[in-house]
Amino acid sequence: MERYSRQVRVTGIGEAGQQRLAQSRVLIVGCGALGTHLADALVRAGVGELVLVDRDIVEWSNLQRQVLFSEADAKAGTPKAIAAATRLREANSEVRILPHVADCSAAFLDELPGTLSLVLDGTDNFRTRYLLNDWCGRQRVPWIYGGAVGSEGAAMVMLPGGPCLRCLWPEPPAHTDVGNCETAGILAPTIAAVTAFQVAEALKLLVGHASTRGVFTCDVWRGSYSVLPLAQHPAADCPACSRREFPALHSAPHEAVTLCGRDAVQVDPGSSALDLTALHLRLLPVATDVMRTPHLLRFAADGCRFSVFPGGRALLFGVRDPLRARALYDRWIGGL
């Protein structure tokens, strides 16, 4: 217990709470700014098992705020989940860390083995957040929302039975109504403030204490921090809490999705495993910067940079239009 001696002394934790942490199993969705802060704190706190899922690779613009990555990761385009797991194992070898380089879908969540103690939101888009909301509601697993852009952030605990995200906003907000890191930027202290709330609430839930019932909001530039009151009961017309319909679990998956605030599109045709070695050999004479790594294949063509994963999923950088991204995918990957 020497590793956790200072934490055990905190009122509300104790040795019994530390044992409960060691028996917990937490899923973090997204290994970006929020996710890396969350993962680092929970691994150092001594959770038993941490499951990571992220679809992206490390880029240079990530290093300003995504605390588990290095310049070497950005240069190599290492998948974020893999790079994060490597650093986390160096911080605490006692924690079992399971990284997944994948898109978080209903199918992915359903295939996770075992029972989760908690789900933490480290994403950058509301489509995935509503998926988490509905899946956790159906499974009766608590989850903690978090979001940050510019100098402003928000976080909230969602417990089984509600109120949930749909109680506040029945449908995801339009993309035009929500700022992103590309248009508004992001300050590292904003991430730190939001994840401090998320981690504190996570520890409380995992050791068996009551969570804060309210919406945490902050503006670190203006020095504003508050917890807004939240209704204690779910909305009467909430499809998830009141009717248990969970719309996000029945939505058709998006084959091509624009990544938040970036000139990048993810294309996932849902095909079977792709032979990256064969694709590598075929691309060598016709593409540029072709590089095979243990986790993906990278190359450049038609003014775009491609990162292709074994399952056929690909990230296309330098394009915003999903239709053009799909056409480029068919030309360079699907058509080979």
Q: Which of 220, 250, 280 is the last residue of a domain?
A: 250
Give the CATH number of the domain where residue 288 resides.
3.30.310
Q: Which residues are catalytic?
A: 181
**pTM, to two decimals:** 0.89
Q: Which of 250, 283, 306 is the last residue of a domain?
A: 250
Q: Which of 250, 275, 295 is the last residue of a domain?
A: 250
What are the φ/ψ torsions at residue 235 (nearest 5 degrees)?
-65, 140
Q: Are residues 187 and 318 in the same domain?
A: no
Q: Are residues 56 and 114 in the same domain?
A: yes
Neighbours of 172 (CB within 10 A): 19
Give the CATH number of the domain where residue 203 resides.
3.40.50.720
Q: Are residues 179 and 67 in the same domain?
A: yes
Range of the domain at 269: 256-334
- What is the predicted pLDDT for the residue at 336? 46
- Neighbour order of strands in the sheet with 143-149: 96-101, 49-54, 25-29, 118-121, 143-149, 152-158, 214-219, 224-229
Q: Are residues 218 and 306 in the same domain?
A: no
- What is the predicted pLDDT for the residue at 179? 64
pLDDT per residue rounded down to tens, the chain (336 residues)? 799 999 999 999 999 999 999 999 999 999 999 999 999 999 999 999 999 999 999 999 999 999 999 999 999 999 999 999 999 999 999 999 999 999 899 999 999 999 999 999 999 888 899 999 999 999 999 999 999 999 999 999 999 999 999 999 988 876 545 666 766 789 999 999 999 999 999 999 999 999 999 999 999 999 999 999 988 899 999 999 999 999 999 887 767 888 876 789 999 887 666 889 999 999 999 999 999 999 999 999 999 999 999 988 999 999 988 888 988 998 899 754
Q: Are residues 243 and 260 in the same domain?
A: no
Cβ neighbourhood burial of 243 (10 Å; 0-12, 13-18, 19+): exposed
- What is the predicted pLDDT for the residue at 262? 76
Q: Are residues 51 and 192 in the same domain?
A: yes
Task: Please state the domain count of the chain.
Answer: 2
